Structure 1
Amino acid sequence: MEDVTLAFRQLQREQAELLTRVGNAWRGNHADYKLGAIGEDIAHEQRIMQKRLYQLEEQLQAEYKQVQADFERAKEVKTDATH
């Protein structure tokens, strides 16, 4: 009877260890899935941010060109006014 009790306890320990391993594997897979989803979200946000930055850069360049053109026109008007 004692041998059966010891074997049963050993079986219970092995079962608990197996359940722990399965649980850890599931959490690991779940964590990998979550990290993958987070990584995709971050990549998406980076693409959106890059697009916004590109648009802002284009806008700034256009405004800079406009300011340069306005400045050149102002210089021409001043030159014409002095002659």
Structure 2
Amino acid sequence: MKQQEDAVRKSLEKQRELEEVEREFRQLKRQQEDLLARFGNAWRGNLSENKLGAIALDLNQEQRMTQKKLYSLDDQLQAEHKQAKADVERAKEAKADATH
């Protein structure tokens, strides 16, 4: 049962780490948007608009891929946590049954 409780605890720790990564990701996204805006203000003209547009598309694609990975990790962690909690409950039930 201790092993299952450790698994639940580790699952919660992983969830907290993932939430921290997501917060950092959102902050990085805001910084990138700010940087693009600053470059756009500093570098005027049609060529700059095209370049900035291409850069923004690349950044957006990379952000979507990263967000997709984060969602996948979150789903995986939630499944692990659910399984660990179920294992703890089964262990408790088995212990209770053994004492009867």
* Partner of residue 62 from structure 1, selected from 79, 83, 86: 79
Q: TM-score, with normalisation over the residues of structure 2? A: 0.53
Structure 1 unaligned regions, length at least 5: 1-26
* Cα distance between partner residues in 2 of 1:32 and 1:61: 42
Higher relative contact order (CA 8 A, sep 6+): 2
* Residues 25-47 of structure 1 deviation map (CA, whole Å, 9 limit, x = unaligned): xx822211110100000110111
Structure 2 unaligned regions, length at least 5: 1-43
Report the residue type matching 1:60 in the other structure: L
How far residue 51 of structure 1 moved from its aligned partner, in angstroms, is 0.6
Report the residue type matching 2:84 in the other structure: V
Give 1 or 2 for the bigger CA radius of gyration: 1
* 2:12 equivalent in structure 1: none
* Cα distance between partner residues in 1 of 2:59 and 2:98: 57
Identity %: 63
Equivalent position SS for 2:45? helix
Deviant stretches of 4+, over 4 Å: none
Q: TM-score, with normalisation over the residues of structure 1? A: 0.63
How far residue 80 of structure 1 moved from its aligned partner, in angstroms, is 1.2
Kindly tell me the number of residue pairs found equivalent between the two proteins: 57
* Partner of residue 34 from structure 1, selected from 51, 58, 83: 51
How far residue 69 of structure 1 moved from its aligned partner, in angstroms, is 0.7
Q: Compute the RMSD of aligned alpha carbons.
A: 1.3
